[in-house]
Structure 1
């Protein structure tokens, strides 16, 4: 039976401890990345929406790198939006930078009313081909 190994980026933000969750869980060759938001180091939201989205993608990439992967390893993405119609242009711009070439990962966008003070969140599932190194999995 596969084990659950938590993964955290080197500079993890305050939200992981504040809300009691792991940045990602590795199980076998799958990495389940928790919803990443555009938070500053102290856990507060970035107020500028396009910057908040870009920071959420940066945080996603940092978690993937901590697990020995990258954006190309993502197979499934879910994004959460507090105002999908108004926010879509900024999200699509960030998404195009993150995934510039085909094949694109699966993507589901969901409109929500609350994201704990944030306006955008992105979660992902990645398949990693590299075996985890003890140091790469991060602190538990």
Structure 2
């Protein structure tokens, strides 16, 4: 029988759990899945700077992983969703540069698979990025 544990990120995650009724993470044995994490502060405010938003989304992934005993070093798959306009049609180099820099900074040489998707809307007004990951606890040791 599998052991299932749900995690709720302190701060913004508690607010979303109360308002919408979902958890930020689930751990089934050593496998972890998290819901998409926005680059928001605990008051659900999106920074003006795209770079600050992406860095905060990475911070929030880390916070959410921690609720079920995982870290960035355990991550095996990243899905990122990037708001694009019909005029742009593609995810900008500005998004990719910050994402790649954060991968290098947080993954310490680990290279998980990555699926990057352009979308026209995200969960909160002003959001430009959302990140969700899959992790296997202990796989980065």
How does the TM-score come out when normalised to structure 1?
0.81
Give structure 1 regions of 4+ aligned residues with deviation exceeding 6 angstroms: none
Task: Name the residue aligned to 1:19.
Answer: 20
Aligned length: 128
Matched, 1:115 2:125: no
- The separation in 1 between residues aligned to 2:119 and 2:35, in whole angstroms, is 17
Does 2:127 align with 1:128? no
Tell me the distance in 1 between the aligned counterparts of 2:68 and 2:81: 23
* Cα offsets for 1:64-111 (capped at 9, x unmatched): 22222211101111000013124222222222222241x411111000
Root mean square deviation of aligned Cα: 1.9
Q: 1:89 aligns with which of 97, 106, 116?
A: 97
**TM-superposition CA deviations, 1:22-79 (whole Å, max 9, x none):** 1101111111111111111112222221011001100111122222221110111100
The corresponding residue for 1:7 is 7
| Runs of 5+ unmatched residues, structure 1 | 130-140
- Structure 1 residues 4 and 68 mapped into 2: Cα distance closer, same or farther (>3 Å)? closer
Residues 4, 26 of structure 2: 8 Å contact kept = yes
Q: How far, CA to CA, are the matches of 2:101 and 2:20 in structure 1? A: 29
Q: Are 1:57 and 2:58 matched, yes or no?
A: yes
* TM-score calculated relative to the size of structure 2: 0.80
Shift of 1:121: 0.6
